[in-house]
A and B are shown apart, each in its own frame.
Chain A
Amino acid sequence: MAHQHHITPLSIYLTIAATLLFLSGVTVWVSYVDLGAMNIVIAMLIATTKATLVVLFFMHLLWDDKKLLTIFVMSLMFLGIFITITLLDTEFRGGVNPEVKDSINKRAAFYDSLPLTDTHGNPVDEHGSSHPEEDEDHH
């Protein structure tokens, strides 16, 4: 009853894994270079390249029945529809009524009721000279 499945060669698995790790490093490095609006574009391009490698090779879709790749692509298409058409609303508010154009309440009122604290939750005097200490965990 055995039937032959295509067995992905070991070399492909190792090459793809190495490429994915390399691209992860690239994307971190590029994020430190200021390219303005292109940063997000490049980050998404790299992520999509990595994703494509995972889907085609690790998830085996390169060699599988093309119906399965169609299903996956369709899922992305519907996600794309959801995002794009929603943005047609959220990006174009205020076309007729300019007063709705501004982002809703950039500075939420409830903040004014909170006491100022430092990174460890200790209250600070708002008019004091304390500077919040640099958190060791963050850059």
Chain B
Amino acid sequence: MIENQKNYLTYPKGIMSWLLTLDHKRIGLMYLFGGLAFFFLGGLLALGMRLELAAPGNDFMSNDTYNNVYTLHGAIMVFLFIIPAIPGALGNILLPLMLGAKDVAFPRLNLASFYLYTLGALFTIYTIIAGGVDTGWTFYTPYSTTSTSNVIPMTMGIFIIGFSSILTGLNFIATIHKMRIPGLTWYKLPLFVWALYGTSLVQITATPVIAITMVLLILERLLGIGIFDPALGGDPVLYQHFFWFYSHPAVYIMILPAFGIVSEIIPVHSRKKIWGYKFIAFSTLSIAFIGFLVWGHHMFTSGQSVFSQIVFSFITYFVGIPTGVKIFSWILTMYRGQVSFTPPMLYALSFLFLFTIGGLTGIFLGAVALDIHLHDTYFVVAHFHYVMQGGTIVAFLGGLHHWWPKSMGTMYNQTVANICCLGVFLGFNGTFFPQFLLGLRGMPRRYATYDPQYADLHNYSSFWSAILGLSIFIAIMNLLWSLRKNNKLDPGTNPWGAMTLEWTHTTSPPHPHNFEEEPVLEHGPYDYDKVIVEPTFKK
């Protein structure tokens, strides 16, 4: 084993070489640790909520405290973890490698994106220290324009993070179009790249609207411009249109990269060519586009016109179709493959189950008649946790486990990882399935207390949330534990036998400049029918 291979973790040395790095892999790692830190914080807030909700009554939180907790939980999870994490962490580390490029198109802009994320995060931390914000992560007017809590620092933070997201998307689009090695045509790209492409298109198109929305909200609070204030002739529902025009496509920013991860894991861990490559690629673009037409399904009880309700509901049904196409493609990929139950694969299988439930319940909510009853109940809470956590976070964990040996050069304990995956699966279902029932029975969301008839289901949910939290925590600790000294793998390791460029043409961890010499493309990303790539695993 070559001890002294230069890799991006160890070279160049020194803290300034990290703080001023232009290496996309280092930037990706910084996003990873920043994102995990906020995931942890958001998770603590969630566990605090579940602890409060384990029994009826205000056990240790007043209603006002509870309002602050769920607002911060939502805002931190959405803006500081789920939206930036997969593109920022995995996307940054892997995209140039998958394309055979030395870096992203605009490395300095990439570093700027990370620092904008950091600045936005500081505004968020300030908000917490200053006493929080209690409007809900959606900041609906008129409450957000009149609340005495720290709305402006939080919305400023979101405004700044929005630019981080926009610049990352812009960078990735330019990279994917322009930095591919010769011969790497669009239909030979790994599907994770297609996923990042779709995500980036949504990022640059939708995020500017949340930016202007936050500005309008801040001006309304500071200067009383009146655009959302009925007393001055404004319309509070207009705020919701502005907010959801971004926030609905934002959920596709959250899920498309996760779909990309699953599209990478399943063929590799089934040692089989992906079924329906073009279906998956084009369904990504369809979801990205249709996602811009359906935002009003978050507003069925807001007072918008009935005509628009009908239009939004109708189009919402179409957005589920391309996703269904993906699920079938993944299942057909596994069929007659050699499926190995490695941690990445177990997370991918969990994803299929959990995301399907989440996606289908979204379709239920797309029916106006049903949504009138279910809006703002726990049914919605359960739905979005199934897609965001059961979907994106589970896929993110799977991606971490899949690419950990490549990006860190170490292997974690796979038995522990598998047990944690099971813990996540059981804990997650135990936490959130009862919440569908709670919602159907009328339990409203954002309430710190409730009538005794809901106590049993809340109690089960809280119990399983502890299992879920513990499992995620141990899973991440297990990954970090693998970084201990003397646990390094041979740099040529390819434990899963994958055949995309990041596995076949770089060391584990990769060299600072990615490739010794520019790769020459020899086969497609999943050509298990033509090429044999044996898994290698040596220390």
Contact between chains at B241 and A86 (CB < 8 Å): yes
Residues A104 and B305 in contact in the complex (CB < 8 Å), given A78-B205, A90-B238? no
Map CB proximity to A onto B304-331 as digits: 1 under 8 Å, 0 otherwise.
1111100110000000000000000000
Which of A75, A92, A110 is close to B306, meaning CB atoms less than 8 Å apart?
A: A92
Task: Please tell me if B233 contacts chain A, counting CB pairs below 8 Å.
Answer: yes
* Chain B residues, CB < 8 A from A105: 230-233
Query: Known: A78-B292, A81-B293. Contact between A95 and B311, CB under 8 A?
Result: no
Residues of chain B within 8 A of A96, CB atoms compared: 306
B372 to chain A, nearest CB (A): 12
Asked whether A50 is an interface residue with its Cβ less than 8 Å from the other chain, the reply is no
In the docked arrangement, what's the CA distance between A93 and B305, Å?
A: 4
CB distance from B403 to the nearest CB of A (A): 31
Q: Is B235 an interface residue (CB 8 A)?
A: yes
Report how far A74 CA is from B292 CA in the complex, Å. Answer: 12
Total number of B residues with any Cβ neighbor in A under 8 Å: 25
Q: Which residues of B contact A94 (CB under 8 A)?
A: 305
Of the candidates A81, A89, A90, A108, the one whose C-beta lies within 8 Å of that of B292 is: A81
* Contact residues in B for A93 (Cβ distance below 8 Å): 303-305
- Bound-complex Cα distance A108 to B230 (A): 9
Cβ-based interface call for B245 (8 A): yes
Q: Which residues of chain A are within 8 angstroms of B231 by Cβ–Cβ distance?
A: 105, 108-110
Using a CB-CB cutoff of 8 Å, which residues 97-113 of chain A contact chain B?
100, 103-106, 108-110
Interface of B is mostly: helix
In the complex, whether B237 has a CB less than 8 A from a CB of chain A is yes
Question: Do the beta carbons of A104 and B233 come within 8 Å of each other?
Answer: yes
Partner among A88, A106, A110 whose Cβ is within 8 Å of the Cβ of B308: A88
Using known A-B contacts A81-B292, A86-B241, determine if residue A95 contacts B307 with beta carbons closer than 8 Å. Answer: yes
Q: What CA separation (Å) do A89 and B209 show in the bound complex? A: 18
The answer to the question of B276 belonging to the interface, with a C-beta cut-off of 8 Å to chain A, is no
Cα(A95)–Cα(B209), bound, Å:
28
B234 within 8 A of A: yes
Would you call A29 an interface residue if the criterion is a C-beta within 8 Å of the partner chain's C-beta atoms?
Answer: no
Contact between chains at A89 and B241 (CB < 8 Å): yes
Q: Is the CB of B232 within 8 A of A108?
A: yes
Q: Which residues of A contact B311 (CB under 8 A)?
A: 85, 88
Known contacts A85-B296, A88-B311, A96-B306; is A104 also within 8 Å of B205 by CB?
Answer: no
CB distance from B456 to the nearest CB of A (A): 39
A59 and B436 alpha carbons, distance in the complex (Å): 53
Name the distance in Å between B249's Cβ and chain A's nearest Cβ. 10
> Which A33-91 residues sit within 8 Å CB-CB of chain B?
67, 74-75, 78, 81-82, 85-86, 88-91
Closest residue of B by beta carbon distance from A101: B305
Chain B contacts for A88, CB-based, 8 A: 305, 307-308, 311
Please name all residues of chain A whose beta carbon is closer than 8 Å to the beta carbon of B241 when the two chains form the complex: 86, 89
Q: CA–CA, A108 to B306, complex, Å? A: 27
Chain A residues with Cβ under 8 A from B304's Cβ? 89, 93
Contact B230 A82 (CB under 8 A): no
Contacts of B306 in A (CB 8 A): 92, 95-96
- Tell me whether A92 and B307 are in contact in the complex, defined as CB-CB below 8 angstroms, given that A78-B292, A82-B245, A104-B230 are known contacts: yes
15 contacts between A and B (CB under 8 A): A78-B205, A85-B295, A86-B245, A88-B308, A89-B241, A89-B305, A89-B307, A91-B305, A92-B305, A93-B304, A96-B306, A100-B303, A105-B231, A105-B232, A108-B231
When A and B form their complex, which 4 residue pairs have the shortest distance between CB atoms, in order from nearest? A92-B305, A89-B308, A89-B304, A92-B307
A residues adjacent to B (C-beta < 8 A): 67, 74-75, 78, 81-82, 85-86, 88-96, 100, 103-106, 108-110
